[in-house]
Structure 1
Amino acid sequence: MHVQFYKMSEENEEKPKNFHEMEIDDRILKGIAKLGWQTPTLIQEQAIPLLLEGKDVLLRARTGSGKTAAFAIPVIQKILNSKQTTIHQEVKAIILAPSKELCSQICKVIKDLTIKCSREIRCIDISAQVDLAIQKPMLVEKPDIVVSTPARILQHVRASNLNVKESLEMLVIDEADLIFSFGYESEVKELLPFFPKIYQAILASATLSEDVKNLKSLVLHNPVTLKLNEPELAPSSQLTHYHLNAEEMDKASILYALLKLHLIRGKSIIFVNTVDKCYKIKLYLEQFGIKTCVLNSELPAKIRCHSVNQFNQGIYDIIIASDEKALENPGESHDNKTKKSKRRKDKESGVSRGIDFQYVANVINFDFPLDIESYIHRAGRTARGNNQGSVLSFVSIKEQELLKAVETHLQAKQSGESIFQTYQFKLEEVEAFRYRARDAWRAATKIAVREARLKEIKQEIFNCQKLKSFFEDNPNDLQVLRHDKALHTVKIQQHLADVPDYIIPPTLKNLSGITRKRKRTRNQFRTSESSNSKFQMQKNNPLITMQFEGFKKKKKS
């Protein structure tokens, strides 16, 4: 097989093209303008012309580089072109993704791009696990683009609800490196005979793993491989990596102090390794009046997607996410599975990969990730576009080896430069916080956590099912359905929500008024349409250390 290989660099000699120079329909250009995309990213600039020519392409670029638009824009353009000659409505494109959240986001991007041609282009997402009969009428109408997980679309094909043998022109597989690791190898192989012999195929991936190479040989024909010559993470000038040695009780105390003293500014994702830890931290923080939203594989897919959308809109600032390795290894041994929770988890769920969290200022690893890849993907949630970001990792004695492995890997990628900085936090200066934290952490018992998990799932399932028809008729009222409400399975003491002046460390006294500033920043999230003014605060370091001299000097200059 002859493979053309393009290695792209940001130092290309050619002058970069703009969207209007790529033979893109004016209706799509208006959608692009409404999204605020001024110029194409490097992967979009290289991929869009090749895809419009009809070539099979393997896109390799890190998360946040604009891969979704790189394949979505050509797919829409080619469908608009074909509608000038075809008479019958047919399914022209299928987009496969490993998780329901990613399917939802891809569909949203396409709908945003087609806002000026929504009558001509129809895209549906069928990844939701509902009865096939409910989705069948949508497929009978033969939408132009169908977005789904491989398992779900295979169910519809088997049920004869979807027949694309004669009509399919384009197949896209997003996050291709996760398709096999989510257990979809057999589904993809079974799907291919239902597709025509000739179609344009596109694979988008963050890595070029063995799984991607296997998938490439199955799907692509004489492909062009576009490899973005870039580091795995944003440069150190944009993304700062901190680590702080602490055991679990101290981790909890430090997290409480960071949030209540507003040393963490902007939207944040707190990563943990288990669902139980998600709820323990939520219950712990709600005792101090700190609202958080939980994201894990036990919640209904629609709720997960809605939670992410509200977070992206700035309705709340903190998500606690469980990065469960079991989701990426569904083929693990039965013995290992029996040790895990018996509650139903959704294997078509992903948090550290795929989900497009927007304008995240901080990633906090309460539990250090279990491998190098997970660290990279968690860190990739922040410092996207031109925004500043930070990653703060709490590291226990047991997690030291994991930290060393990540540090060695990143140093090798950065020509031996040291990546991690020690986060300067004087725990002895917040002893009063530590005292409060100890009681609150103990109050979040295993029983309280179990009750919280059940209560949250029941509550969200109720929201998902009972209110579905109402919100279909009243979409604007969906905003009132928040996911950061307190669960109240632990006793709430109202005085803990306040921080008395006498327990604030002397080094932070000069920042009285930071609360008022933060309230104005939250209003900016809701009112400003410009991303530059909307997240102006992220131009400063979003994570402040307790060594405040440098910060004061920077502020005066």
Structure 2
Amino acid sequence: MAKPKDKPSNDSKHKEEEEEERDDDDKSFEELGLDPRLIRALTKKAIEKPTPIQQVAIPLILEGKDVVARAKTGCGKTFAYLLPLLQKLFTAANSKNKVAPSAFILVPTRELSQQVYSEVVSLVDLCRVQLKVTQLTSSMPVSDLRTAMAGPPDILVSTPGCITKCLSDGVVLTASISHSLEILVLDEADLLLSYGYEDDLKAFTAVVPRHCQCLLMSATSSADVEKLKKLILHNPFILTLPEVGEVKDDVIPKNVQQYWISCSARDKLLYALALLKLELVHKKVLVFTNTIDMGFRLKLFLEKFGIKSAVLNAELPQNSRLHILEEFNAGLFDYLIAIDDCETKEKETVNPESNVESRKSKTHRKPKLDADFGVVRGIDFKNVYTVINLEMPPSVAGYVHRIGRTGRAFSSGASISLVSTDEMEIFEEIKSFLGDDQNEDLNIITPFSTLTPNAVESLRYRAEDMAKSVTKIAVRESRAQDLRNEILNSEKWVFTSSPLSSYLLFLH
């Protein structure tokens, strides 16, 4: 268990203090007391004003307070802790005796680790300061981990599992953490325990020094967050935006327009084609399916009409997923199919009654899915305007998290859900959840009238003809080929983008 930290006790009001977003006039980054170098870096990133959570969190973090920040996805929580964290390291005296990173940023997934690492490196480069940033992953050999930690870095971005691996292998010494660690960030804190990191976090937080400032960033106020808060924090400030409640933790932003289309399950590919081929939706587009097979069915089907897309799924190695995500975020293609199978895992078991299937399974064994991969939460899809639910998620929370991929920060967005008869029950549940309790307005998700029946029928004949060629065999072969291609295409990207190569370039 983490040791209680030495904090002033004369102000008992600060224990578990709830601070909601204030109605004061919007403050600028200058008024928040940010370093001019950080403000110039933000200007270069075209970020002109702080979000509500940043306005409240940044001053408290600069003051050295422990903070729990709860706010909906896309409201700027990452910069809410990165900006003051960097400023504190800018102004800290450089210690030649430092034996471990001054700041640890722990996240639940390797994809999020890569994205946070990239954001930190970008800000450091734009500020032109001498801070070393390192990302570690569990897949790195111990020798590479030791090389990356030589120095040591000022900021370390990783997952809890990787950190405990470093501790057990002697890559990072317990005494060095107690000596050097100044700031600990647990990002997406509500997911850390659900991803199975409880034992890792207990082992790590036990060596966190008393003076260390701890920050928990979360989209929800779940029991897991409360458990983490008790594990590591002492007298924290609890920042909660008004929209964040006990149930509606991740409400849909008001700047996102939600639509739905009623169609049969067999017509879903046809309707998706109509939306994209007739250019009825704004780019970039993120399409969600519940299974990998359906994702590749859609990809192959769209290719028949000259529409290129990529499939992001847990079957791909981490480096390949990061490669796809980087290309999509860079605008190299406009349509990304994301497999959200966290609640509807594909069954990989073989029918015991079929000896033929059993023999085939040995020959065509599917790649192992990455259990740490989470596409709905923990991944930042940049500049997504439209989210399409080709298949409805099995829960209200799944819907809210999916739609949260658009309308981030101050941007606008839209979502379109294709709803079949079998999905009406969950759809009605979603509508009821999102409805206004006072006005009983359950029509917050409106019909997408822009797509007319005549427009759909004009594509039906050719679409149904092309769909016949998208067989199970074609899907299986496409999955295998896509896996091979992505591994080859990402090899060069892996070297130039990996934490170790970044470290080697830093040395050079």
Cα deviation, residue 466, structure 1: 6.0
Q: Cα distance 1:132–1:413, how it changes in 2: closer, same or farther (>3 A)?
A: farther
Partner of residue 260, structure 2:
243
- Secondary structure of 2:34 counterpart: coil
Distance of 1:89 and 1:148 partners within structure 2: 18
User: Amino acid of the residue matched to residue 189 of structure 1?
Assistant: K
Distance of 2:493 and 2:239 partners within structure 1: 45
Q: 2:84 aligns with which of 74, 78, 101?
A: 74
Q: 2:239 aligns with which of 223, 226, 229?
A: 226
8 A contact 1:353–1:377 mirrored in 2: yes
- Does residue 40 of structure 1 match 2:40? no
Distance of 2:488 and 2:257 partners within structure 1: 41
Cα deviation, residue 271, structure 1: 0.2
What is the identity percentage for the equivalent residue pairs of Structure 1 and Structure 2?
37
- Secondary structure of 2:410 counterpart: coil
User: Amino acid of the residue matched to residue 147 of structure 2?
Assistant: P
- Does residue 96 of structure 1 match 2:122? no
- Does residue 391 of structure 1 match 2:410? no
8 A contact 2:252–2:400 mirrored in 1: no
* Aligned positions of 1:249-398 closer than 5 A: 249-326=266-343, 338=349, 343-398=367-422
- Does residue 430 of structure 1 match 2:440? no
Q: Cα distance 1:267–1:200, how it changes in 2: closer, same or farther (>3 A)?
A: same
- Does residue 449 of structure 1 match 2:472? no
Partner of residue 174, structure 1:
187
User: Amino acid of the residue matched to residue 355 of structure 1?
Assistant: I
Unpaired stretches in structure 1, ≥5 consecutive residues:
330-334, 476-557
- Does residue 186 of structure 1 match 2:210? no
Cα deviation, residue 183, structure 1: 1.4
Q: Cα distance 1:423–1:326, how it changes in 2: closer, same or farther (>3 A)?
A: closer
* Aligned positions of 1:456-495 closer than 5 A: 456-465=482-491, 468-469=494-495
Distance of 2:376 and 2:130 partners within structure 1: 35
8 A contact 2:270–2:459 mirrored in 1: yes
Partner of residue 401, structure 1:
425
Distance of 1:323 and 1:413 partners within structure 2: 29
Instruction: Report which stretch shifted further, 145-154 or 59-68.
Output: 145-154
Cα deviation, residue 86, structure 1: 6.1
Give the paired residue count.
463
Distance of 2:118 and 2:463 partners within structure 1: 41
User: Amino acid of the residue matched to residue 212 of structure 2?
Assistant: Y
Partner of residue 229, structure 2:
216
User: Amino acid of the residue matched to residue 452 of structure 1?
Assistant: S
Cα deviation, residue 412, structure 1: 4.2
Distance of 1:107 and 1:134 partners within structure 2: 17
Cα deviation, residue 118, structure 1: 4.8
- Secondary structure of 2:270 counterpart: helix
Cα deviation, residue 471, structure 1: 7.7
Unpaired stretches in structure 2, ≥5 consecutive residues:
1-11, 245-249, 352-364, 502-508
Deviations 1:197-230 (A, max 9, x none): 4311100000101111111111111100000112
- Secondary structure of 2:385 counterpart: strand
Partner of residue 137, structure 2:
127
8 A contact 2:274–2:455 mirrored in 1: no
Q: Cα distance 1:147–1:414, how it changes in 2: closer, same or farther (>3 A)?
A: farther
Q: TM-score, normalised by structure 1?
A: 0.78
8 A contact 1:249–1:438 mirrored in 2: no
8 A contact 2:253–2:407 mirrored in 1: no
Cα deviation, residue 269, structure 1: 0.4
Distance of 2:350 and 2:152 partners within structure 1: 44
Distance of 1:311 and 1:116 partners within structure 2: 23
Cα deviation, residue 430, structure 1: 3.3
- Secondary structure of 1:77 counterpart: helix
Partner of residue 7, structure 1:
20
Partner of residue 356, structure 2:
none
Cα deviation, residue 445, structure 1: 1.4
8 A contact 1:140–1:161 mirrored in 2: no
Cα deviation, residue 337, structure 1: 7.1
CA RMSD of aligned residues (A): 2.5
8 A contact 2:302–2:308 mirrored in 1: yes
8 A contact 1:63–1:354 mirrored in 2: no
Cα deviation, residue 440, structure 1: 2.1
8 A contact 1:103–1:148 mirrored in 2: yes
Distance of 1:467 and 1:107 partners within structure 2: 16
Cα deviation, residue 313, structure 1: 2.2
Q: Cα distance 1:413–1:314, how it changes in 2: closer, same or farther (>3 A)?
A: farther
Partner of residue 140, structure 1:
150
- Does residue 20 of structure 1 match 2:30? yes
Deviations 1:63-108 (A, max 9, x none): 1111000001111111122235665464101111111111111111
Cα deviation, residue 450, structure 1: 1.3
